[in-house]
Amino acid sequence: MQRNATTRYPILLVHGLFGFDRIGRFELFHDVKQALREAGGQVFVPQLSATHDNEVRGQQLMLQIERVLQGTGAGKVNLIGHSQGALACRYAAALMPKNVASVTSVSGPNHGSELADALRRALIPGRLPEQVAEQIATRIADFLSLLSGQPALPRNAVAALNALTTAGVGEFNSKYPQGLPAIWGGHGAERVNDVRYYSWSGTLQDDWLQTLDPVHAVCRAMSEHFVVDAGQNDGFVGRYSSHLGTVIRSDYPFDHLASLRRPDGPRKPGLDPVELYVEHAIRLKAAQL
């Protein structure tokens, strides 16, 4: 039986750091977008800078929200942001709440990333290590943009790193606190300024299927940099750092990138990460969003 996930307002899938819409035949949100459209959803994937701070990317998102509203005639949009994309969504919702029905954070660093903290400590501001790292990150972003045909959006790798640290997100949160939990590991307000807030994320849970995935291996290596959320992270974002609004669940058995793609080869029944997006669209529909 075909499920109905036809939400009242269009859905925008917002990518995070180094994200893109399409490279050749490969689309970052391919499985998610296809599943939502098959269930009746109206879905768009905005283009944001591959590397920049949260507010610059949020401003870019706001412009594209306006275009979607003009093109569809809708009054609002539902924003679903993966990783740093969640922070861009939060920014847009804080500044234009009348045009945003909901914000959903998927594996979002809503209190910063301990991995970003470790990288920031390893780089010496204004000296060679930072310059080399910035050049490498910029080249990667430029390469992805070239392949994807992405517009010539501004890019700033150091600004992106600083914006993802605990201190950087803490400063961001002081200006845009909507949906944040009052206590560590708790839930935040479900509705602020008539915008609904939701979140879900995963943690590294090794099994024989995941050991065959090289991306999972990278996430496992990165997880060694976590202290506060040691053993409770997805390799890039800590479990409790991801909490925002109504926390649907924060310990799905997904690494950071698995929360937006179907794994190659066999997978456990009932643990398809893409289905979470369809289920959430049904949830938004039920809430008349």
Active site residues: 83, 234, 256
Contacts of 109 (CB under 8 A, 6+ apart): 83, 84, 86, 87, 116, 164, 169, 236, 237, 241, 242
Helix (H, G, I), strand (E, B) or coil at 203: coil
CA distances, 223 to each of 11, 141, 257 (Å): 31, 23, 13
Contacts of 214 (CB under 8 A, 6+ apart): none
The burial class, CB within 10 Å (0-12 / 13-18 / 19+), for 2 is exposed
| Torsional sign, CA 241, 242, 246, 247 | negative
Comparing C-alpha atoms, which of 136, 161, 147 is closest to residue 54?
A: 161
